[in-house]
Structure 1
């Protein structure tokens, strides 16, 4: 399966976004029913409540839900049938990861309680850097394999020439031994 690292990284970020958005909606009081999504979210060990005002929590939940939706669409596009889709989806994936970085920086620099969502220490930034690395690695590994096709064609031509040369050499050796 191609683009496995990118798929894993983007899936993790989509999950983080979706669960965080649901947690923020729970904090606003919009998810109050004990069953369904609210029950699932209530069971998650989230670092919530963060202490955001309800309108702020709803706005950040919308941003995170949008990121989760964008990541899901990008994953679908990465694995769509035509190969060219992946090359067009990669910049979108990088943009979505950059949006996470922007949200983190804005929350951290402004002193927003939302910064608590990203945890303490450099773990968030390390995970983000690994995700960019996965995207870059998968891109470099899947760059047009024209060189590989040319190498394979050259190896097939060498093998065909070797197969043709063996019978000629055998005929030449047998004719030399008949004369000698």
Structure 2
């Protein structure tokens, strides 16, 4: 079973000016290098989502399934793909987490997004000191997340930060395997 991975980006999150509690932004960007993610950088291919089923995706707060904000099958989350990335429009619920999240987006306290996914196909280049990973095919997209603390910067105005959550031991194992491949 592929390992669940997450990434975060800073994005142009916007909040509606009416009482609908609608937020929108970009959850995944294509053809943009990440910052150094602990010995490697990566990029998501524009065709990585070509065969991904987007019919049942959650929007969460901070990857917490106890903080569900909306969901595509409930028609409260709309996802669209274009050449730049995966975009969303979300109607936040009339709950305390929905109100708090909406106000934090509106006030600029929450500016980042993240996504939880599996990888079916990737390509590694280990020819330099900082390895490069190209994500060619996403297996499943489980969730997108609104988050106040994205960790990696990008120069694009609509995307400014991304992060990877991976256990140190898993990363060390990967580095060891890559070192063995280069010997």
Question: What range is the shorter-chain TM-score in?
Answer: under 0.3
Structure 1 or 2: larger strand share?
2
- Compute the TM-score of the two structures, normalised by the length of structure 1: 0.27
Report 1 or 2 for greater relative contact order, CA contacts < 8 Å, sequence distance ≥ 6: 2
Instruction: Look at both structures and tell me which one has the larger radius of gyration over its CA atoms.
Output: 1
- Compute the TM-score of the two structures, normalised by the length of structure 2: 0.27
